Amino acid sequence: MLYIQYSLCIWLFYFCIYVKYDFSHTYNRSFFTSVYKNKSAIISLERENYINKTIAGERKVFMSEVILKTKDLTKKYQSKTVVDSLGLEIRKGEIFGLLGPNGAGKSTTMNMVCAITRPTAGSISLLGINPWKQKKEVIHRIGYIPQELAVHGNLKAWENVELFTSLYGIKGQKLKEAIEKSLEYVGLLDKRNEYAKNFSGGMKRRLNIACAIGHNPELLFFDEPTVGIDPQSRNFILEKIKESNKNGATVVYTSHYMEEVEAICSRIAIMDNGKVIACGTSEELKRLVTNGDKDITLEEVFLTLTGKQLRDYI
Amino acid sequence: MIWYLIKNNLKLMFRNKAILATMVLGPVFVIAMLSSAFDDLMKSYEKAGKFKAGYQVEGGSFWENNMETIKKAGEESGIIFLEYPDGNPEELVKSGILSGFVKLGNEKYTIYENEDKETEGIILEYFFSRCLKESAGQAVQLKAPGAASGNFGISLQKLDYMPAVNASDYYGIIEMVYFGFLGVICIANVFISEKKNGIIQRFQITSLSCFKLYLAKWIPAVAIMASGILAASVISSVLFGIHWGNLVISAILVLLVIMAGISFGLMINAIFKNMAVTVIILFTSTFFMGFFGGSFETYMYSRLPETLKNISPVYHVNRALVEHSCMGHSGYTSSCILYFTAIIIICTVIAVLADWAGKRGKGRR
């Protein structure tokens, strides 16, 4: 009996070591690689808290480690509470959708998590680190694609990518390779020498993404990346988001387009008045409203949960 | 990482042709305009030649003991001082016997000028102002220890009285200083693009410090502005034959002005976070500094109070550069270096702190 207990202890010890090291090696900076898919399945199966979810109706992804966690996250602007005691848990390998009407607090939440806007209260754990205390340790592991087209019009496409990628300490040959990879990734390699000001809306959006992925981040934040672009560009961007997720990146995505969110997100949180009012897979959200009685779209779920009145916010 | 930021900021500035052209051609145009407008006036100063001025000294005043020294200094400067102990100054000046008159009292001195001989009057004013203001190292020295009691003397070695400067040299030099101080304009498009496109947010998700961000603007702005002013100086020197005097010292002083101007502009922008406000404040403050410092009216003959002139950093550099051009040396070089170095350091510290506070403020808003 003692021998069995001893063997179990040894086995458990080795198992812990294996999980710990394999985990870090597999997930670290794997944006452009595809090792994630196989390894993650093994690890996640051995952990109990996996979620089995179909994404875009074709691929099974198992998620485990919590990569982003907020607890009682609050942001107040004078007397107005924009984000109210928000609690979120986003797991590694997810495409997590944040839905909400204008002024719901989606962008503010993203800004707080990315260490742009300081929270009034609450805690954030981003990749196991508090971004407001150890910004330098975590900042190069995340990519933020802002809602604005944050590129210089008077710089060429490659110069824009060079500028923003170099800010993460990448230089020389590595920087050149990163620029090439990023531009190729968003399909702008042949337009590398064109000025950004001459780009169409869709091309600018793609360049915006290229500027945020050059440093090969593990966690990507997309703040409404498909606003004002044609269906082809939108489809391209969504495919790329799925591809990057397939290659190992965790994605946090905000949008007003329900069909987009439904198509690419493994879990969705609906926010209103600074609070998460519902969270789960799109099926779970639909069940929440209809009890599975009738077929319903995500937009109907959204309107049922958030109401139909106009949201004018300042 | 800052190198790539500097490089791309340089590219952004170089691609704004309108600003570049303004920074190069602007000074050339203003020099041409001002030097031709003031040419006749400044020639009249040159033509003043020797003239007679009367004086009366109040008994027991410190002037009494130093009158011989002053007379000698005046002679070197083309002013022949004649004593009129009992005459009526106004009548003497009005009659045209004298070009000016000075009544030297214990607490003040009064200068009587002839309306028809305004130039001589201004020279007389400038001479006495210079007598009082010049300190060690200059030809007329006030012996400080006794100054408090009013019992001090003036000793003459050689009066560095400013010889007449021609309009091209004067405006050719000082307009470079004026434009050099407005250097932050050349980086305005970078700030506007960053703000308009939300690029500042992107910078916040990097480990870039406020100081590095400041340097990434300051270095390319100084480089572009220095190149622009150099080009403008070469063009204006070729077109108008401007004499700069000691080229090395002049180049150092102009570079300091550019650095200080850009630091000042970046500081205003860091405080107000608005380029339009920055431009308005920068132009207004530079206008006043230039107004008191001789950028429009020549500082030699300006009737503005000396204190106001001395407060203006532009006055120090204008004077140092003009004196280097026409006299070969200047007592204002060191004060000018100190003044502008202090501006660079203070403005840099405030700009970085304001930027840092702004980031924290934004977070806590």
């970078």: which residue's tokens? B190
Residue A238 lies inside a defined structural domain of this protein: yes
What ipTM describes this predicted complex? 0.71
Three-class SS state of B287: helix
**Contact status of B4 with chain A (Cβ, < 8 Å):** yes
The answer, for B360 touching chain A at a CB cutoff of 8 Å, is yes
Task: Please count the structural domains in chain A.
Answer: 1
Q: What is the pLDDT of residue A40?
A: 32
Average the pLDDT over B237-247 and give the result.
84
pLDDT band at B152; cut points 50, 70, 90? very low
Judged by CB atoms closer than 8 Å, whether chains meet at A150 and B201 is answered as yes
* Angstrom distance (rounded) from CA A39 to CA A25: 10
Nearest beta carbon to residue B198 from set A120, A146, A155: A146
- What's residue A303's pLDDT? 79
Tell me if A165 is assigned to some domain: no
What is the C-alpha separation between B122 and B124, in angstroms, rounded? 5
Domains of chain B in start order, with CATH, are 2-41+165-364 (no CATH), 49-156 (3.40.190)
Cα nearest neighbour of B195 on chain A? A150
Q: Please, which pLDDT band fits residue B265 given cuts at 50, 70 and 90?
A: very high
Query: Does A170 reside within a domain?
Result: no
Q: Which residues contact B120 (CB under 8 A, 6 or more apart)?
A: B48, B51, B53, B99, B100, B113, B114
Take residue A136 and report the two structure tokens written for it: 């330098």
> Residue A224: which domain range?
66-141+218-306
Assess A273–B contact: CB distance below 8 Å, yes or no.
no
pLDDT one-digit tens code per residue, A37-90: 333 333 333 333 333 333 333 334 454 688 899 999 999 888 888 898 899 899
List pLDDT tens digits, range A169-227. Answer: 898 999 999 999 999 999 999 999 999 999 998 999 999 999 999 999 999 999 988 88
Residue of A nearest to B5 (CA): A163
Residues in chain B: 365
Please count the CA atoms within 13 angstroms of the CA of B76 that sit on its side-chain side: 16
**A chain contacts of residue B203, beta-carbon cutoff 8 Å:** 167
How many A/B residue pairs have CB atoms within 8 Å?
Answer: 90
Residue A184 lies in a domain: no
For residue A241, being part of any structural domain is answered with yes
Q: What one-letter code names the amino acid at B314?
A: V
- Check CB contact of A117 with chain B, cutoff 8 Å: yes
Chain A residues touching residue B5 (CB < 8 angstroms): 163, 166-167
Give a yes or no: residue A6 inside a domain: no
- In terms of CA atoms, which chain B residue is nearest residue A134? B207
Average pLDDT, integer, range A257-286: 87
Q: Are strands A267-272 and A95-99 parallel, antiparallel or unpaired?
A: parallel
Q: Which residues of A touch B363 (CB under 8 A)?
A: 116-118
Which residue among A115, A150, A212 places its CB closest to the CB of B198? Answer: A150
CA distance B210 to B359: 9
Interface probe, candidates B204, B205, B215, B364, chain A, greatest A C-beta count within 10 A: B205
Cβ-defined contact of A155 to B11 (cutoff 8 Å)? yes
- Three-state DSSP at A83 gives strand
What token pair was written down for B30?
Answer: 């203003």
Q: Is residue A19 part of a domain?
A: no
B201–A162 CB contact, under 8 Å: no
By the 10 Å C-beta count (0-12 exposed, 13-18 middle, 19+ buried), A188 is classed as buried
CATH number for position A229: 3.40.50.300
Over its C-alpha atoms, chain B yields an Rg (Å, rounded) of 24
CA diameter of chain B: 82
The reply to whether A156 falls in a domain is no
Q: What residues in B contact A150, CB-CB < 8 Å? A: 197-199, 201-202
B191, closest residue in chain A (CA to CA): A152
pTM for this structure? 0.72
- Averaged pLDDT of chain B: 81
Res A178: pLDDT:
94
Q: In this complex, is the C-beta atom of A80 within 8 Å of any C-beta atom belonging to chain B?
A: no
Percentage of the residues of chain A whose pLDDT score is greater than 90: 35
Beta bridge partners of B111: B102
Residue entry with tokens 């500042």:
B200
CA distances from A127 to A133, A145, A214, B224 (A): 13, 18, 19, 42
